[in-house]
Structure 1
Amino acid sequence: MARWQPGTRERLQSVSLHLFAEQGFERTTVAEIAAAAEVTERTFFRHFDDKREVLFAGQEDFVAMFLDPIVAAPDSTPTLELVSRALEGTAALFTDERRAWSRMRQPIIEAEPSLRERELGKLATLTVRIGEALQERGIGEPGATLAAEMTVTVFHLSFQQWIAPGEDRSLQALTRERLDALTALVAPSPNGRTGRS
């Protein structure tokens, strides 16, 4: 059995994803994953705590790609610009090379209630962390929470479109389109009303 080869973690992720897609998440065992990746089960557990972590590894990196641009922005940056910067930060992780992985991963998540719950928990945690980062910059409530919710909603809707069959636009382009649509809804119109009202 191969041990500690370069790219072992990535190979385990790839093999796991294909097995989950072919035979279902619950029916796939760690032993099967390890065998298909030509490593021992012990090697699998050096990289992941359990098979769920194959799908959810990198949570802190995921959160950081939103938070780092907020933290790094100049003190005078308006709230909406902070939201925009946070969304632009997603481009670093969700590249075109990652789209195929994300397209395979999503049906696996959606088919398993416990995985859907974990995914929702991940987004809820992200919302809280963004809200905290905005509060630390002096943005009061309810503004910080509303801005955090907006950030995650725009990201989620953009991500769903990004993995849709036939979609080839970048995630960054999709988030910008949706953020523009949202801000247009609340922007004052010439008659003093907001959006299309």
Structure 2
Amino acid sequence: MARWQPGATERLIIAAVDLFTEQGYDATTVAQIAERAGVTKSTFFRHFPDKRELLVAGQETLSRLLADGIAEAPADASALDAVAAGLERASSAMGPVNRQLGPRLKAAVAASTELQERDALKSIGLAAAMIAALVARGVPEPTAHLAGEMGVLAFKRGYAQWSEGDRSDDEGLTPHALAALEDLRLATLSLDLRPQIKAPTS
């Protein structure tokens, strides 16, 4: 069996997602994942503490990229413009492997309550990173919370469209994430559109 080599992390993630989809999360063991990936169990545990953490591989890096993009946005940028800068920075780091995994990862999460819970925690972590970066820019907390949550939703919607869409589209994740954020921004404008209430006539 092969020893550790560059790309072991990616191979472990792909192997795990495939096995989760084929036979279910609960039935999949660390030994099976390692064997499918062509590495030893000890190599698995050098990369991940347990099989559940495979789902959030790269979360720390993704959170940092989102926060860095927000921090480096122009000083006069609005909260949502800063979030867009964070999405651009993070999306640029997503490559073909991330796109390939999208539909299979979605199916694996849908079939496991434990993975759904872990995915929810991942979303909370990404939002927290963006909120903290926005507050550090001087954005009021309520605005920062709303913008951060919108950023997570835009990233997830954009990623779904990118990973499940036309594979001849080679533009990358960025335009999909930014388009999703713009859709959400427009949706918020409609929240205050109330029907006119006519006064009762006598």
> What residue is the counterpart of 2:24 in the other structure?
24
> What residue is the counterpart of 1:129 in the other structure?
129
Q: Secondary structure at the match of 2:141?
A: coil
**Is residue 63 of structure 1 aligned with residue 73 of structure 2?**
no
Q: Secondary structure at the match of 1:163?
A: helix
Question: 1:7-59 deviations in whole A, cap 9, x for unaligned?
Answer: 33332222222222211111111112223333322222112111112222111
Instruction: Name the structure, 1 or 2, with higher relative contact order (CA <8 Å, separation 6+).
Output: 2
Question: 1:145-170 deviations in whole A, cap 9, x for unaligned?
Answer: 11112211222222232233546654
> What residue is the counterpart of 1:181 in the other structure?
183
- CA shift in 2, pair 1:141/1:13, >3 Å: closer
Q: Is the 8 A contact 2:70 2:86 kept in 1?
A: yes
Q: Secondary structure at the match of 1:100?
A: helix
Q: Is the 8 A contact 2:55 2:119 kept in 1?
A: no
The runs of 5 or more residues in structure 1 that have no matched partner are none
> What residue is the counterpart of 2:199 in the other structure?
none
Structure 1 segment 84-163 matched on structure 2, within 5 A: 84-163=84-163
> What residue is the counterpart of 2:43 in the other structure?
43
| TM-score, normalisation: structure 1 | 0.84
Structure 2 counterpart of 1:79, one-letter code: A
- CA shift in 2, pair 1:175/1:36, >3 Å: closer
The runs of 5 or more residues in structure 2 that have no matched partner are 196-202
Q: Is the 8 A contact 1:162 1:168 kept in 2?
A: no
Structure 1 counterpart of 2:125, one-letter code: T
> What residue is the counterpart of 2:53 in the other structure?
53
Q: RMSD across aligned C-alpha pairs, in angstroms?
A: 2.6
Distance 2:70 2:187 in 1: 24
Q: Quick one: percent identity of the two aligned structures?
A: 38
| TM-score, normalisation: structure 2 | 0.82
Deviates more, 1:25-34 or 1:7-16: 7-16
Structure 2 counterpart of 1:32, one-letter code: Q
> What residue is the counterpart of 2:198 in the other structure?
none
Per the TM alignment, residue 107 of structure 1 is displaced from its structure 2 partner at its CA by 0.7
Deviates more, 1:16-25 or 1:119-128: 16-25
Distance 2:44 2:120 in 1: 26
Distance 2:184 2:36 in 1: 46
Per the TM alignment, residue 2 of structure 1 is displaced from its structure 2 partner at its CA by 2.2
Deviates more, 1:30-39 or 1:43-52: 30-39
Q: Is the 8 A contact 1:184 1:195 kept in 2?
A: no
